[in-house]
Amino acid sequence: QKNSCVLPEDLKNFYLMTDGFQMTWSVKTDDTPMPLGSMVINSISKLCRLGGSSMYTLPSAPTLADLEDDTDEEGNGDKPEKPHFDSRSLIFELDPCNGNGKVCLVYKHAEPVVSPDTEIWFLDRALYWHFLTKTFTAYYRLLITHLGLPQWQYAFTSYGVSPQAKQWFNMYKPITINTALLSEEADSFVNKLDPNKVFKSKNKTPVLKKKQPSQPPGSQKSHTSMTSAKTSSLAGNSSRK
């Protein structure tokens, strides 16, 4: 009522069941537990609006709305239109992401009347927007699937997760982090097999074998030369006698 908007049905059902959600898990290194995974959905009291107040207490202090630029590219083709920090959009924080950014519930069309259509976007630390899902249910499934690993939202950005976070992904979620590599560099990971070439039937032409003589011609020549030599020697002996 304060913001003149209605929660999406799936998120409203979630809050009717539980006022927020938080789950953390740790890994043990050298018998010392170290916090790693964190899955958070802010409670109703922490579902704060972004861009509504100034960053500082001064009356003329800049706000997030001052970052808006009319030259920003709107959504074209497959890229959806990005949210706005000014009055054109209503943005609420769902997850603070441990300071690595913010997952936000976005009402992109707030003028003149707030549209009930919402989307889930990720706002990184450089204040760039990245689209995640169209519904809260789809985002909740992503959150559970990625186990709340550090910086998992950056897997949906153009620059990806950090090297340190990638090591955790390779350890606990190797399929998730390697599917993108398989799709981008399929030639280097997947052997392409053409069954038509492998199992192609070859028409073998029968090879006619020639009958070879019992003795090779070279041996015959040597044999005849030896017999002629023997006869000549015998003739010479008889003439001597």
**Domain boundaries in the chain?**
9-55+80-177
CA angle 51, 154, 135 (to 5 degrees): 65
Closest residue by Cα to residue 70 from 49, 54, 86:
86
pLDDT value of residue 15: 95
In this predicted model, what pLDDT tens digit does every residue of 28-53 receive, in sequence order? 888 888 888 999 999 999 998 887 55
Residues of the chain with pLDDT under 50: 54-56, 71, 179-189, 234, 239, 241
In this predicted model, what pLDDT tens digit does every residue of 118-136 receive, in sequence order? 999 999 998 899 999 999 9
Cβ burial of 152 (10 Å; 0-12, 13-18, 19+) is buried
